[in-house]
Amino acid sequence: LRLAGSSIDFEASPPHLNLPLREFAAALTACDQLEHLELGDVGYIRAMHRPVLTMLQRCSPTLRCLRGILPWSIVENGLSSLFKSGTCREGGARRLEVLALGGAVPRQLESTSGIAQVLAANAGTLRSVSLSGAALDDGSCLA
């Protein structure tokens, strides 16, 4: 599934035009066997956060390629097999070969532990990783 375009088109639309966006969001949450997913910047549309998260959680066991510009929290919660409470949920990404993500980098390095878990869980299959984004810290280095 490849989704491209600008989030500006959706964000600027009048409320009466949001029905197509809601229908699109409902269709995304029905996807559960995707292997290749290219989201573009659709994940940054506020109204699409929950549908994209749901789709990632459903597709993560079969997903081999994920590309897009997404908030880190959606990536972590969508691909990880752990809830924030530390309990396990069924699923989680285990077959990723390509992970190419852009988005805002969290201020606290500790808040990226979900990404570390996703990378560790896919260490045997990952062939290409590209993580980039704008740092949201006070200018100090994250490493």
Residues 6+ apart with CB under 8 A from 133: 72, 101, 102, 103, 104, 105
For residue 47, name the pLDDT band (cuts at 50, 70, 90).
Answer: confident
**Residue-averaged pLDDT of the chain:** 77
Parse the chain into domains and list their residue ranges.
Answer: 36-132
For residue 53, name the pLDDT band (cuts at 50, 70, 90).
Answer: very high
| pLDDT at residue 131 is higher than 90 | no
Q: What is the tens place of the pLDDT at every residue in 21-42?
A: 778 888 888 888 899 999 888 8
Q: Quick one: which H or E segment has residue 75?
A: helix 72-79
Rounded distance between C-alpha atoms, residue 120 and residue 22, angstroms: 35
At 73 the pLDDT is 87
Q: What is the tens place of the pLDDT at every residue in 60-107?
A: 999 999 999 988 889 988 998 765 555 566 678 899 999 999 876 665
Predicted TM-score of the model (pTM): 0.75
Angle 67-90-23 from CA coordinates, rounded to 5°: 55
**21, exposed or middle or buried, with CB in 10 Å at 0-12, 13-18, 19+?**
middle
| pLDDT at residue 130 is higher than 80 | yes
